[in-house]
Amino acid sequence: MDQFNQVLAAINGVVWHNYVLFFVLFTGIVFTIRTKFSQYIALTHGFHVLRGRYDDPDDPGAINHFQALSAALSATVGLGNIGGVALAIALGGPGAVFWMWVVGFFGMSIKLTEVTLSMLYRNTDDPDNPHGGPMWVAAKGLAKMKPSLTGLGKFIGTVFCITLLVSAITGGNMFQAWNVGEITQAYFGIPSWVCGVILAILVGTVIIGGIKRIGSVAGRLVPIMVALYLLAGTYVLFINSDQILGMLTLIVKSAFSSHEASGAFVGGTMGYAFMYGMKRALFSNEAGQGSSPIAHSAAKTDEPVREGVVAGLEPFIDTLVVCTFSALVILSTGVWNRGVEAKYDVPPEVVSVALDEWSLETKAVPSRDEGEWVEGELVFAVIEAHANPGSGNNLHRLNGTIVDENGILVVDWKSIESRVQPVLHENGVYGSYVGATLTAKAFDSVTPGLGKWLITLAVWLFAISTMISWSYYGEQGIVFLIGNRAVLSYKVIYCLLIIVATLGYIRTDEQLDNLTSLGTGVMLLANIPIIWIFGGQAMRAYHDYVDRLKSGRMGPGHAAPPLDELISGRDVD
């Protein structure tokens, strides 16, 4: 597993190079300028569309605007908002939150553009069950631009679908299932694999009914789970209201400078804050991934831009609202830089296990003030070793697992490679709270038991909603690649992978980050070029729509311009 994790880390080092992040951010800035800040249109006109003012049951599509947004939000507003934010702060520091905000703001224009394109090129051969997404944009778009490029368009669409399936399996499935199993076992002692079986049954029951059932379930589930989570977050922030201003200042300050080590946080550079903030925000709101356009393509509308405007609300709700609540709860309660939970009477010695490879001696784990250690529980110690480019110092986490040796609980420490002999930085053991578990600890620190019940419930709801939407995304990739005949087999495999993810192969936040980053990263690399190639068509359609909206030329007699005019660039008025 360690070797597999190293391979993932190496691939992600290329996929998530800073140049890629800068290019995604640049894409958002460019389309924000080209739309003259479409964020305003999304936050005003978008809500009118959601209220049903423009709904027409005779329009092509399977679900209404609200259901389409709910289906897409059920994928975006998920464990990325609970566990992803915790990962970003734990690994990148408070400054990561600022870069999540930046991605959320500019991601609104990216979402509008990619969804508009998918609506322009969606396949409506069956008006009641349309298919759309970047794969159709590439395949149909290049063929329309130049027939000789038909083969290239199909190839690009195929590449995107392969990356879509990778992301559906990792971030859309295994990340969700792992978090559910981790937090349920930590709080209630229920084995992770049992959670996996239950999840697989629940998800399978929904996805067997297709996009109409998914949209119906999401339309009921998303508003409830978001309201519940925000209500609890408001309670915690009210208790810690005197710290909010200081936390906001810390977020901005840490975004542009290194943050020193403190307790469980080993330190973070500006570069790592930027990287983890960008990665987690893109994983959470999916701007530029090309996933949300697949759900929105099922919307009932004959105005492609209208659904694009609705989609622009996703990053705002997901990142600028829900993720911010999670971040402020984690930061204001101090769980991100908590102190040691248990101290040794005599610190364990650093021992050599191989050439330039070190560990800590196995000793009985000391008692902690709150609760008892449990066999299988993950812990870590902070040590000083070689230079750490992520923390900007020489501090590292050394992970370990609580094991039972002849009736005595001891820590089985992992090893670390270092050319200099490490030194224990602080005498003590930290509980390793990964992802959603850290967020739960934040709620528990205010009201004992709140995190246990609230976050466990939220994690289950968020995970189920995300997995049902991502199963549909992957299904559409299968349909594009080999047709409907393999859809049922795909759904069975998808549900089985939920169980696989809870069997204990993922153990630390680094492994979790590597796994989910792979899927998100490869989709970005496949989809962003599609946005740039066809973005001009979306912009012409957008400005025509806004002009008609402002002049009152909506409805019968004022239809959207034909696709051929958008492609040619002729005056669409």
Q: What is the DSSP string of 347-389?
A: PPPEEEEETTEEEE---BPPP-SSS---TT-EEEEEEEEEEET
**How far is the C-alpha of 96 from the C-alpha of 92, rounded, in Å?**
6
Pair (400, 488) in one structural domain: no
In terms of Cα–Cα distance, which of 283, 326, 253 is closest to 98?
Answer: 253
Pair (380, 457) in one structural domain: no
State which amino acid sits at residue 163: T
Pair (331, 354) in one structural domain: no
Pair (460, 366) in one structural domain: no
State which amino acid sits at residue 151: G
* Sheet order of strands, 357-360 included: 350-354, 357-360, 416-417
- Per-residue pLDDT tens listing for the chain (573 residues): 567 777 777 887 787 777 888 888 899 999 999 999 999 999 999 888 888 887 777 777 777 888 888 777 777 776 677 777 888 888 888 888 999 999 899 999 999 999 999 999 998 887 777 889 999 999 999 998 889 999 999 999 998 898 889 888 887 888 788 878 888 988 888 999 999 999 999 999 888 887 778 777 777 777 888 888 889 999 999 999 999 999 999 999 988 887 777 777 777 767 777 777 887 787 777 888 888 899 888 888 888 999 999 999 999 998 899 889 999 999 999 888 888 888 988 989 999 989 989 999 988 888 887 778 888 888 999 888 888 777 778 888 888 999 988 888 999 999 988 888 999 888 889 888 877 788 888 998 888 888 888 888 888 888 888 898 899 899 999 999 998 889 999 999 999 999 988 887 665 556 666 766 777 778 888 899 999 999 999 999 999 999 988 887 776 555 666 666 666 665 444
The sign of the dihedral angle between the CA atoms of 91, 96, 101, 106 is negative
Backbone angles phi, psi at 203, to 5 degrees: -65, -45
Pair (185, 328) in one structural domain: yes
Please report whether residue 483 resides in a domain: yes
Pair (181, 239) in one structural domain: yes
Tokens of 16: 């998530």
In terms of Cα–Cα distance, which of 67, 65, 75, 66 is closest to 475?
Answer: 75
Pair (332, 356) in one structural domain: no
Please report whether residue 363 resides in a domain: yes
Backbone angles phi, psi at 506, to 5 degrees: -100, 130
Pair (117, 167) in one structural domain: yes
- Overall number of domains in the chain: 2
CB atoms within 10 A of CB 220: 12
Q: Do 394 and 386 meet the contact criterion of CB atoms below 8 Å apart?
A: yes
In terms of Cα–Cα distance, which of 232, 188, 286 is closest to 458?
Answer: 232
Return the half-sphere exposure (C-beta side, CA atoms, 13 A cut-off) of residue 356. Answer: 5
Q: Do 77 and 462 meet the contact criterion of CB atoms below 8 Å apart?
A: yes
Looking at residue 456, which CATH number applies to its domain? 1.20.1740
DSSP string, 109-124: HHHHHHHHHHHHS-B-
State which amino acid sits at residue 564: D
**How are beta strands 393-405 and 430-431 bridged, if at all?**
unpaired
CB atoms within 10 A of CB 242: 8
Secondary structure in 3-state letters for 231-255: HHHHHHHHHCHHHHHHHHHHHHHHH
Tokens of 499: 């169980």
In terms of Cα–Cα distance, which of 20, 33, 18, 15 is closest to 105?
Answer: 33
**How far is the C-alpha of 97 from the C-alpha of 283, rounded, in Å?**
14
Please report whether residue 408 resides in a domain: yes
* DSSP reduced 3-state for 508: coil
CB atoms within 10 A of CB 254: 22
DSSP string, 54-77: T--TTSSSSB-HHHHHHHHHHHHS
Please report whether residue 564 resides in a domain: no
Pair (375, 424) in one structural domain: yes
Backbone angles phi, psi at 391, to 5 degrees: -90, -15
In the listed set 378, 394, 428, which residue is the last one of a domain according to the structure?
Answer: 428
Pair (327, 369) in one structural domain: no
Q: Is 23 exposed, middle or buried (0-12, 13-18, 19+ CB in 10 A)?
A: middle
Q: Which domain holds residue 355?
A: 350-428
State which amino acid sits at residue 64: N
Pair (63, 131) in one structural domain: yes
Cβ contacts of residue 477 below 8 Å, gap of 6+? 133, 135, 160, 161, 162, 164, 165, 168
Please report whether residue 149 resides in a domain: yes
Please report whether residue 103 resides in a domain: yes
Separation of CA 439 from chain center:
15
State which amino acid sits at residue 27: T
Pair (408, 446) in one structural domain: no
**How far is the C-alpha of 50 from the C-alpha of 310, rounded, in Å?**
7
Please report whether residue 569 resides in a domain: no
Please report whether residue 170 resides in a domain: yes
Residue 364's beta-bridge partner residues?
410
Return the half-sphere exposure (C-beta side, CA atoms, 13 A cut-off) of residue 349. Answer: 3
Q: Do 429 and 366 meet the contact criterion of CB atoms below 8 Å apart?
A: yes
